[in-house]
Amino acid sequence: MSASGGETLGTVCDVSNTGANDIWHIKRDGKVFLVPNNPEFVKSVDIENKKSFIHRLKECLTMKIDIMTLFPEMCESVLSESIIGRARKAEIVDIRCHNIRDFAGNKHNRVDDAPYGGGMGMVMQAEPIYKCFENICEESGEKPHLIYMSPKGRTFRQPDAVRLSKYDHIVLLCGHYEGVDQRVIDEIVDEEISVGDYVLTGGELPALVVTDAVCRMIDGVLSDEVCFSEESHFNGLLEYPQYTRPEVWHGVAVPEVLLSGHHLNIRKWRDEMSVEVTKKMRPDLMNKNNEGC
């Protein structure tokens, strides 16, 4: 499989049939992404030489993240700024926010109702969520990996950010009110993720946290891999202390080793401080690292 400009894109490792057209699974550098087999993407097929040429290479290689929410403007306002906003403008990542109310199917755009069995609050109905996800699947020609942001889910950690960044397309479902009808969770959700053992008003803030953490792991979002590989949690430890100008502030000087220009000694100091800070601030992480040895 090659781009129309001649660049080798990867090898077809599988084909899915969606009814409308086939979806080619292209393996490249250990990652699999999807290309619809239609004229919009496929320029030509050379059966004799077992080669195909495609248009819109950048779009095929761009990771897609869809957020299903009742508050798309809230999500857009955050994701349009800073590093993630720049990555979106550069088309390194394609993030789209979908209003679940658009799929309510009633004149008042109501998407919730009282819970069976009684109780406080309202529950998000299954059908609007299902139709919203169905629309995403139809637009992409695939069933993406769907994550429900839920307090019952497994706690989100840095390895999860790395894992999710390997997908070519993920969808985040933001709950609200007293939660979501269990039937739609059972039918379409692939995993549930929590950002901590506390209660929030809705799933939008957790979805933004996951989106930011995942996007930072995508090639090209940060200027260099060292930007995330030396940060807290990436290697199981907390990050070493950081300092900047002035050299002395309120009578406290920057550690002398950082001014020495000796890169080996600086690296050693940072490694030692990373362990020391983790022992002091998060001893539980040290226990986990020891268990993994």
* Per-residue pLDDT of the chain in tens (293 residues, 90 and over written 9): 555 555 676 788 888 775 656 777 777 766 666 676 777 667 788 888 877 776 555 555 689 999 999 999 999 999 999 999 999 998 889 999 999 999 999 999 999 999 999 998 999 999 999 999 999 999 988 899 999 999 999 999 999 999 999 999 999 999 998 999 999 999 999 999 999 999 999 999 999 999 999 999 998 898 765 445 555 556 789 989 999 999 999 999 999 999 999 999 999 999 999 999 999 999 998 877 665 54
Q: Which residue in 138, 195, 147 sits closest to 167, CA to CA?
A: 147
> What does the pLDDT read at residue 32?
67
At residue 54, the pLDDT reads 67
- Which pLDDT belongs to residue 151? 92
Measured distance CA(39)–CA(272) in Å, rounded:
56
For residues 125 and 113, the answer to whether their CB atoms sit within 8 Å is yes
Q: What is the pTM of this model?
A: 0.78
So what's the pLDDT on residue 98? 98
Q: Record the tokens describing residue 47, joined without a space.
A: 């059966």
pLDDT value for 37: 76
pLDDT at 251: 97
Secondary structure string (H, E, C) spanning the chain: CEECCCCECCEEEEEEECCCCEEEEEEECCEEEEEECCCCCEEEEECCCCEEEECCHHHHHCEEEEEEECCHHHHHHHHCCHHHHHHHHCCCEEEEEEEHHHHCCCCCCCCEECCCCCCCCCEECHHHHHHHHHHHHHHHCCCCEEEEEEEEEEECCHHHHHHHCCCCEEEEEECCCCCECHHHHHHHCCEEEECCCCCCCCCHHHHHHHHHHHHCCCCCCCCCCHHHHCCCCCCCCCCCCCCCCCCEECCEECCHHHHCCCHHHHHHHHHHHHHHHHHHHCHHHHHHHHHHC
